[in-house]
């Protein structure tokens, strides 16, 4: 394995890890709010969160490219006032990945909250605990499988991104060239052996991480129900 190969894999897993951690911070309060609201706009919010599941990645990538481009209003404003350039940069990949992988974090956690007994929160409030304490000390410990599932799915989904990354990041070695882009690039160049190396690493990693999740969740359920 040469330096460029390792650099591409490092960038891929760095992007996935960064995206997953940010989504965990954003996804928990969003999932909690969606699980506990009965407002008329709840279906609207759920539809917006879920759109990346059915929207072609190139469509999302195209609109992000238009929004982030320095010659467009939003991209120009970011560059002029904050010196932030999102097109063809790693931060741009992170922002795009957060949007694209959002439902993979939010939906499992939302389902976990919705499946909890309402008596857990009620008992905590009766004991004088705040909503924040109830969330972090009572509810979240009881939805560990949902949290783990959301983390793994958002991580794995980011690792496999292609369309969005290609549109807003291109193929810049060391900056935006992740494994999925590298595979496409190597196949186009008829370098099947190198493409196979990238693909084999991703297949093996994905299998092992999913196997770990199912094993951990199975153990958690056994402990919960004896």
Q: Which two tokens stand for residue 73?
A: 């209003």
pLDDT value of residue 100 = 95
pLDDT value of residue 221 = 67
pLDDT value of residue 226 = 55
The CATH number of the domain holding residue 182 is 1.10.3720.10
pLDDT value of residue 46 = 95
pLDDT value of residue 192 = 93
pLDDT value of residue 155 = 94
pLDDT value of residue 150 = 94
What is the Cα–Cα distance from 62 to 207, expressed in whole angstroms?
A: 31
User: What is the total count of domains within the chain?
Assistant: 1
pLDDT value of residue 118 = 82
Over the range 63-101, which residues count as b (16 or more CB within 10 Å of their CB) and which as e?
ebbebbbeeeeebeebbeeeebebbbbbebbbbbbbbbb
What is the Cα–Cα distance from 174 to 154, expressed in whole angstroms?
A: 22
Task: Judge whether 140 and 147 are in contact, CB under 8 Å.
Answer: yes
Segments in the chain below pLDDT 50: none
Q: Is the pTM of this model over 0.75?
A: yes
Domain hosting residue 31, numbered range: 3-37+45-225
Expressed in angstroms, the distance from the first to the final Cα of the chain is 47
- The residues, ordered by sequence, that sit 6+ positions from 72 with a Cβ below 8 Å of its Cβ are 66
- Per residue, the 3-state secondary structure of the chain, as one string, reads CCHHHHHHHHHHHHHHHHHHHHHHHHHHHHHHHHHHCCCCCHHHHHHHHHHHHHCCHHHHHHHHHHHHCCCCHHHHHHHHHHCCCCCCCHHHHHHHHHHHHHHHHHHHHHHHHHHCCHHHHHHHHHCCCCHHHHHHHHHHHHHHHHHHHHHHHHHHHHHCCCHHHHHHHCCCCCCCCCHHHHHHHHHHCCCHHHHHHHHHHHHHHHHHHHHHHHHHHHHHHHHHHC
């Amino acid at each position: 394995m040469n330096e460029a190969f390792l650099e591409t894999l490092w960038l891929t897993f760095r992007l996935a890890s960064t995206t997953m951690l940010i989504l965990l911070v954003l996804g928990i309060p969003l999932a909690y709010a969606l699980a506990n609201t009965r407002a008329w706009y709840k279906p609207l919010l759920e539809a917006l969160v879920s759109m990346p599941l059915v929207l072609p990645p190139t469509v999302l990538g195209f609109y992000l490219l238009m929004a982030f481009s320095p010659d467009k209003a939003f991209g120009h404003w970011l560059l002029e006032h904050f010196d932030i350039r999102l097109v063809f940069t790693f931060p741009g990949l992170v922002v795009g990945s957060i949007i694209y992988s959002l439902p993979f974090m939010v939906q499992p956690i939302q389902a976990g909250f919705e499946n909890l007994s309402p008596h857990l929160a009620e008992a905590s409030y009766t004991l004088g605990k705040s909503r924040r304490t109830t969330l972090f000390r009572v509810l979240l410990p009881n939805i560990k499988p949902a949290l783990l599932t959301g983390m793994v799915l958002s991580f794995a989904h980011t690792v496999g991104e292609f369309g969005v990354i290609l549109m807003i990041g291109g193929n810049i070695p060391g900056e935006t060239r992740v494994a999925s882009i590298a595979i496409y690039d190597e196949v186009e160049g008829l370098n099947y052996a190198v493409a196979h190396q990238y693909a084999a690493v991703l297949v093996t990693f994905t299998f092992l991480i999913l196997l770990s999740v199912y094993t951990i969740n199975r153990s958690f359920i056994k402990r919960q129900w004896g």
